[in-house]
Amino acid sequence: METIGLIVPCYNEEPSINLFYDEVERVFNEMKENNMNYNHEYWFVNDGSSDNTLSLIKNLRSKDKNVHYVSFSRNFGKESAMAAGLDNVGGDYVAVMDVDLQDPPALLPKMIKYIKEDGYDVVGCVQKTRKQNPVRAFLSSSFYKVINKMSDVEIKQNVRDYRLMTRQYVDNVLKLCEYNRFTKGIFSWVGFNTKYIEYDGVERAAGESHWSLYQLLEYSLEGIVDFSDVPLKVATWVGGFSFFISIIGLIFVVLRAIFFGGAVSGWPSLVSIILFINGVQLFCLGIAGNYIGKIYLETKNRPKYIVKEKE
């Protein structure tokens, strides 16, 4: 019988763990009744939770030997948690899913069908309706537009990390061992035939989202810097353009001095121009700095996460 490995990042998810486990068990039992027989194994990744998440997972492990876990030494973030899951998970198919049931396990049978019957390698999930405040909705749709324009990876709007993958696909994802991880981009970069299915967004089963607006902005920046060097080119063009304009300005000033003479007037405009050019320079320096920062972290070659316990 084939096995489906489930990667489940958990950070302070005490209220959700058991709800999640029960729901997944229900889905797999239902699949059995419909003659879809698969083994499944869980890989919970405890991302440095400060509540009882780990003991709840251990509790499940004592009842069910298909439950495995990796527990980090501190909070490393969901991207690292997913990386740890991918490093450890077994199975012929692998799914990444949130523990808060916002990635409904009930979609799994449909996803498997696309892989088994239609020959897809990956099935990703796209949230159709999503309750979001207008500012977030606007920022998020702008992010997808920008990243799809700038980078050579195509990321579908509102795509979740929730996806079912074949072993071959997972093995290829594992070849991308970068430290700065933007998993949505990595998944897309690896390629293969991907089917996207849409579903209506669901509220969290319990607890609260861990994302602040600032973290989302950082995450977006990570996505752009990791998968595109267009901002560097923009910096070059902005620099080139202001250089060109300044040459014209210079010629104008020199000619005026030769033909009309007189003192140069208008220092307020001069100051404004200097400030403007300084702003442009700092902006471009900031862009370059972002890339240098990434290179710095990448060359240190640190591990993506530290495991404290694993079973």
Contact residues toward ligand UDP (CB under 6 A) are: 9-11, 13, 47, 75, 77-78, 81, 98-100, 102, 209-211
CA distance 154 to 14: 35
Q: Supply the minimum distance, in Å, between the C-beta of residue 165 and Mg ion.
A: 20
Q: What is the DSSP string of 80-92?
A: HHHHHHHHH--SS
Q: Supply the minimum distance, in Å, between the C-beta of residue 47 and ligand UDP.
A: 4
Q: Supply the minimum distance, in Å, between the C-beta of residue 102 and Mg ion.
A: 4
- Candidates 95-103, 236-244, 249-257, 289-297; binding stretch for Mg ion (CB under 5 A): 95-103
Q: Supply the minimum distance, in Å, between the C-beta of residue 9 and ligand UDP.
A: 3
181: Cβ contacts below 8 Å, ≥ 6 apart = 79, 80, 82, 83, 226, 304
Residue (of 145, 139, 158) closest to 228 by Cα position: 145
Q: Which of 46, 49, 102, 228 binds Mg ion (CB under 5 A)?
A: 102
49: Cβ contacts below 8 Å, ≥ 6 apart = 10, 11, 12, 13, 14, 75
If you search the block for the tokens 């080139």, which residue do you land on? 240
CA distance 131 to 162: 18
282: buried, middle or exposed (CB in 10 Å: 19+, 13-18, 0-12)?
exposed
The site for Mg ion, by CB under 5 A, has a size of: 3
CA distance 160 to 241: 39
Q: Which of 13, 47, 79, 100 binds Mg ion (CB under 5 A)?
A: 100
Q: Which of 117/208 has CB closer to Mg ion?
A: 208
User: Which H or E run contains 160?
Assistant: strand 159-166
Q: Which does 103 bind (CB under 5 to 8 A by kind): ligand UDP, Mg ion, none?
A: none
Q: Which of 23/92 has CB closer to Mg ion?
A: 23
Q: Is 229 within 8 Å of 274 (Cβ atoms)?
A: no
List the interface residues with Mg ion, window 169-208 (CB under 5 A).
none
Q: Supply the minimum distance, in Å, between the C-beta of residue 8 and Mg ion.
A: 12
Residue (of 288, 190, 186, 178) closest to 238 by Cα position: 288
CA distance 67 to 50: 21
Q: Which does 10 bind (CB under 5 to 8 A by kind): ligand UDP, Mg ion, none?
A: ligand UDP
Q: Which of 16/166 has CB closer to ligand UDP?
A: 16
Q: Which of 7/287 has CB closer to ligand UDP?
A: 7
122: Cβ contacts below 8 Å, ≥ 6 apart = 115, 163, 164, 165, 166, 169, 187, 192, 193, 194, 195
Residue (of 66, 63, 56, 78) closest to 10 by Cα position: 78
> In this structure, how many other beta carbons lie within 10 angstroms of the beta carbon of residue 187?
24
Q: Which does 11 bind (CB under 5 to 8 A by kind): ligand UDP, Mg ion, none?
A: ligand UDP
Q: Which of 98/121 has CB closer to ligand UDP?
A: 98
Q: Which of 8/115 has CB closer to ligand UDP?
A: 8
Q: Which does 211 bind (CB under 5 to 8 A by kind): Mg ion, ligand UDP, none?
A: ligand UDP
Q: Which of 140/172 has CB closer to ligand UDP?
A: 140
Q: Which does 226 bind (CB under 5 to 8 A by kind): Mg ion, ligand UDP, none?
A: none
Q: Which of 129/278 has CB closer to ligand UDP?
A: 129
Q: Supply the minimum distance, in Å, between the C-beta of residue 100 and ligand UDP.
A: 5
Q: Which residues bind Mg ion (CB under 5 A)?
A: 98, 100, 102
